[in-house]
Amino acid sequence: MPPPQASADMRSCRPKRLPALRRCTLLALSLLMSMLAAGCGLAAPPTEVPQTTIFPKSDAAHIINNLYILIFVLATIVFIVIQAAIVYILWRFRYREGHPLPEQTHGNTKLEIGWTIGPAVVLLAIAVPTIQGVFALEGSAPAVDGSGRQVEGALPIEVIGRQWWWEYRYPEQGIVTANELVIPVGRTVELQMTSRDVVHSYWIPQLMGKQDVMPAHVNTLWFTAQEAGQYWGQCGEYCGIEHAMMRMNAIAYEQADWDAWVARNAQPSPAAAQQTNELAEQGAQLFTQRCLTCHAIAGTAAQARNGPDLSHVGSRTTIAAGILRNDTEGMARWLRDPDEVKPGNYMAHPPAEWGVTTRDHLLLRPQDVDALVEYLHSLK
Amino acid sequence: MVTTLPRPGVAAPAGPPAAAPAVETPPAYRGFTSWLTTVDHKRIGLLYGTTAFIFFLIGGLEALAIRMQLSSPDNTFVSPQVYNELFTMHGTTMIFLVVMPLSVALFNYIVPLQIGARDVAFPRLNAFSYWTFLFGSIFLMSSMFVDGLPDAGWYGYAPLTTRQFSPDTRIDFWALTLQVLGVASMAGAFNFLVTIINMRCPGMSLMRMPLFTWNTFVVSFLIVLAFPAITVALILLTFDRLVGTTFYYAPAGGDPLLWQHLFWIFGHPEVYILILPAFGVVSEVLPVFARKPLFGYPFVVYATVGIGFIGFGVWAHHMFTTGLGPIANSFFAASTMLIAIPTGVKILNWIATLWGGSIRFTTASMFSIALVSQFTIGGLSGVMHSVVPVDLHHNDSYFVVAHFHYVLFGGAIFGLFSGLYFWWPKMTGRLLNETLGRWHFWLWFVGFNTTFGVMHFLGVDGMARRTWTYSAYQGWGMWNMIATVGAFMMAVGTLVFLYNAIRSLRHGEVAGEDPWDGATLEWTIPSPPPVYNFAVEPTVRSRDPFWLLKRRPQAVEAEDDTARISILGKNVAVAEVEEEHPTEERVEERVATGDIHLPNPSFFPMITALGLTLAAAGLVYGIPLSVVGLVYLLVGIGGWCLEPTG
Give the domain CATH number at A182: 2.60.40.420
Of residues B583, B569, B603, B606, the one with CA closest to residue B531: B583
Coil/strand/helix, residue A158:
strand
Angle between helices A109-138 and B363-386 (to 10 degrees): 40
Query: Looking at the domain assignment, is residue A15 inside a domain?
Result: no
Query: Looking at the domain assignment, is residue A364 inside a domain?
Result: yes
> Which residues in chain B have their CB less than 8 angstroms from residue A111's CB?
352
Distance separating alpha carbons of residues A213 and B227, to the nearest angstrom: 28
In this predicted model, what pLDDT tens digit does every residue of B491-502 receive, in sequence order? 999 999 999 999
Q: Do A64 and B390 touch (CB under 8 A)?
A: yes
Query: What local confidence, expressed as pLDDT, does residue A20 receive?
Result: 58
Distance separating alpha carbons of residues A359 and A374, to the nearest angstrom: 22
Confidence of residue B188 (pLDDT cuts 50, 70, 90): very high
Cβ atoms of A344 and A241 closer than 8 Å:
yes
Is the pLDDT higher at B55 or at A32? B55
Confidence of residue B11 (pLDDT cuts 50, 70, 90): very low
Q: Is the peptide bond before B528 cis (omega within 30 degrees of 0)?
A: yes
Tally Cβ neighbours within 10 Å of residue A20. Answer: 13
Query: Looking at the domain assignment, is residue A14 inside a domain?
Result: no
Whether residue A243 sits in one domain with residue A160: yes
Query: Looking at the domain assignment, is residue A152 inside a domain?
Result: yes
Query: What local confidence, expressed as pLDDT, does residue A151 receive?
Result: 79
Cβ atoms of A367 and A258 closer than 8 Å:
no
The tens-digit pLDDT sequence of chain A (380 residues) is: 333 333 333 333 333 444 555 555 655 555 555 555 544 434 445 568 999 999 999 999 999 999 999 999 999 999 999 999 999 999 999 999 888 889 988 899 999 999 999 999 999 999 999 999 999 998 777 777 767 777 778 999 999 999 999 999 999 999 999 999 999 999 999 999 999 999 999 999 999 999 999 999 999 999 999 999 999 999 999 999 999 999 999 999 999 999 999 999 999 999 998 888 999 999 999 999 999 999 999 999 999 999 999 999 999 999 999 999 999 999 999 999 999 999 999 999 999 889 888 888 899 999 999 999 999 999 99
Residues B458, B464, B470, B473, Cα dihedral to 10°: -60
Distance from CA of B54 to the nearest CA of A (A): 26
Domain end residue (candidates: A216, A250, A284): A250
Q: Do B453 and A27 touch (CB under 8 A)?
A: no
In this predicted model, what pLDDT tens digit does every residue of B425-464 receive, in sequence order? 999 999 999 999 999 999 999 999 999 999 999 999 999 9
Cite the beta strand spans of B125-174 per DSSP E.
none
Of residues B337, B201, B343, the one with CA closest to residue B282: B343
Cβ atoms of B580 and B513 closer than 8 Å:
yes
Query: What local confidence, expressed as pLDDT, does residue A11 receive?
Result: 31
In this predicted model, what pLDDT tens digit does every residue of B510-532 receive, in sequence order? 999 999 999 999 999 999 998 88
Distance from CA of A267 to the nearest CA of B (A): 32
Query: What local confidence, expressed as pLDDT, does residue A359 receive?
Result: 86
Distance separating alpha carbons of residues A231 and A228, to the nearest angstrom: 9
- CB-nearest partner of A49 from B153, B461, B467: B461
Angstrom CA distances, B477 to A248, B72, B462, stand at 20, 5, 13
Whether residue A292 sits in one domain with residue A242: no
Whether residue A227 sits in one domain with residue A183: yes
Whether residue A241 sits in one domain with residue A332: no
Distance from CA of A306 to the nearest CA of B (A): 16
Least confident of A29-33, B78-82, B154-158, B258-262: A29-33
Domain range holding A90?
50-96+109-250
Whether residue A290 sits in one domain with residue A242: no
Confidence of residue B538 (pLDDT cuts 50, 70, 90): confident
Query: Looking at the domain assignment, is residue A316 inside a domain?
Result: yes
Query: What local confidence, expressed as pLDDT, does residue B557 receive?
Result: 53
Exposure of B142 in the CB half-sphere (CA atoms within 13 A): 16
Confidence of residue B127 (pLDDT cuts 50, 70, 90): very high
* Complex-level ipTM: 0.88
Query: What local confidence, expressed as pLDDT, does residue A22 receive?
Result: 58
Of residues B444, B114, B57, the one with CA closest to residue B280: B114
- CB-nearest partner of B390 from A68, A240, A323: A68
Closest-approach residue (CA) in chain B for A212:
B322
Whether residue A80 sits in one domain with residue A227: yes
> Which residues in chain B have their CB less than 8 angstroms from residue A197's CB?
159, 165
Query: What local confidence, expressed as pLDDT, does residue B5 receive?
Result: 35
Query: Looking at the domain assignment, is residue A260 inside a domain?
Result: no
- The whole-number average pLDDT for the span B79-95 is 97
> Which residues in chain A have their CB less than 8 angstroms from residue B397's CB?
53, 236
Whether residue A180 sits in one domain with residue A289: no
Closest-approach residue (CA) in chain A for B440:
A15
Burial of B35 (0-12, 13-18, 19+ CB in 10 A): middle
Bridge partners of A183, per DSSP, are A252
Tally Cβ neighbours within 10 Å of residue B228. Answer: 15
Q: Dihedral of CA B335/B341/B344/B346: which sign?
A: negative
How many domains does chain A fold into?
2
Distance from CA of A172 to the nearest CA of B (A): 25
Domain end residue (candidates: A250, A280, A313): A250
> Which residues in chain B have their CB less than 8 angstroms from residue A164's CB?
none
Whether residue A78 sits in one domain with residue A225: yes
Whether residue A169 sits in one domain with residue A284: no
Query: What local confidence, expressed as pLDDT, does residue B29 receive?
Result: 66
Query: Looking at the domain assignment, is residue A28 inside a domain?
Result: no
Bridge partners of A150, per DSSP, are A144
Query: What local confidence, expressed as pLDDT, does residue A24 receive?
Result: 57
Confidence of residue B25 (pLDDT cuts 50, 70, 90): low
Is residue B362 pLDDT above 60, yes or no? yes
**Beta-carbon contacts of residue B54 (< 8 Å; ≥ 6 apart):** none
Of residues B73, B83, B79, B68, the one with CA closest to residue B471: B73
Question: What does residue B96 show for φ and ψ, rounded to 5 degrees?
Answer: -90, -25
> What domains appear along chain B, each with residue ranges and CATH number?
232-241+257-467+503-517 (1.20.210.10)
Whether residue A223 sits in one domain with residue A84: yes
Distance separating alpha carbons of residues B50 and B133, to the nearest angstrom: 13
Domain end residue (candidates: A250, A282, A300): A250
In this predicted model, what pLDDT tens digit does every residue of B66-75 receive, in sequence order? 999 999 999 9
Whether residue A73 sits in one domain with residue A208: yes
**Beta-carbon contacts of residue B426 (< 8 Å; ≥ 6 apart):** B109, B110, B113, B511, B522, B523, B527, B528, B529
Query: What local confidence, expressed as pLDDT, does residue B2 receive?
Result: 35
Query: Looking at the domain assignment, is residue A9 inside a domain?
Result: no
Whether residue A358 sits in one domain with residue A234: no
Query: What local confidence, expressed as pLDDT, does residue B630 receive?
Result: 97
Distance separating alpha carbons of residues B56 and A80, to the nearest angstrom: 33
Query: What local confidence, expressed as pLDDT, does residue A14 receive?
Result: 37
> Which residues in chain B have their CB less than 8 angstroms from residue A75's CB?
380-381, 383-384
Query: What local confidence, expressed as pLDDT, does residue B634 receive?
Result: 97
